[in-house]
Amino acid sequence: MQYNILVCDDEKDIVSAIEIYLKAQGYKVFPAYNGKEALDIMERETIHLILMDLMMPEMDGMTAILKIRESKNIPIIILSAKSEITDKILGLNVGADDYITKPFNAIELIARVNSSLRRYMNLGSADIDQDQIQIGRLVLNDASKTVTVDGEVASLTPYEYKILFLLMKNQGRVFSSDEIYEQVWEEEAHDVKKVISVHISHLRDKVEINPRKPDLIKSVYGMGYKIEG
């Protein structure tokens, strides 16, 4: 299967360079130069992954990501010239899954694209020894890649799914932010506490009755996170 990747950046040289890298890996690339063009392509084409710049004219990346997340859970990787953690956290808060800071290494870019697509298309099934896990009102069915809360389907991104699966498969065990990142992102963890806290917050919004007083996904002060029934 050939995967379609949308590359959105107002710097045409960057889009062209990324297109060369991705085409060499067998991906089909759809270029866009602002958020509005990206949304237009999303309406016409089946896109499997998005590389999205943040600062663009006409419609910025943040606005485009918010609109895409209204109906799509495909992986979104932010391309940002800014290295400050606040920009990365802001991007994750609006629905992105990962980020890469410009200027970037072509090998790193391809590795992140490959791993994000792998997780999206096959969300950890190699690690699964049962199709369904239930903890309280929460049911995760890996055969259908669905999570339901009191019978209602929760719409999770690939990273949210993988984090929840990790916690549910190991009910009661506390995972540090570094441990969660290394198992879900499959990369060495560096300063990831805020990144993980954003994803945990999103998960709580989707599965907890009261996200501010969670009864499922618990924080263990100074240690990490666990899930309880």
Instruction: Return the pLDDT at 85.
Output: 67
- The CATH class, in words, for 125-227 is mainly alpha
Q: How far apart are CA 62 and CA 56, in angstroms?
A: 10
Q: How far apart are CA 91 and CA 78, in angstroms?
A: 7
Q: How far apart are CA 24 and CA 75, in angstroms?
A: 20
Instruction: Return the pLDDT at 127.
Output: 38
Instruction: Return the pLDDT at 82.
Output: 66
For residue 53, what are its two tokens? 């710049």
- Taking 70 as the pLDDT cut, the residues of the chain under it are 82-85, 122-130
Q: How far apart are CA 37 and CA 203, in angstroms?
A: 30
Q: How far apart are CA 9 and CA 54, in angstroms?
A: 8
Residue by residue, what is the 3-state secondary structure of 66-129? Answer: HHHCCCCCCCEEEEECCCCHHHHHHHHHCCCCEEEECCCCHHHHHHHHHHHHHHHHCCCHHHCC
pLDDT per residue over 97-150, tens digit each? 888 888 888 998 999 899 888 877 765 433 334 478 888 889 898 877 889 998
Is CATH 3.10.129.10 the right assignment for the domain spanning 4-121?
no
Domain range summary for the chain, segments of one domain joined by +: 4-121, 125-227
Q: How far apart are CA 205 and CA 135, in angstroms?
A: 17
Sequence-distant (6+) residues with CB within 8 A of 21 are 106, 109, 110
Residue 85, CA distances (Å) to 120, 184, 207 in order: 25, 20, 27
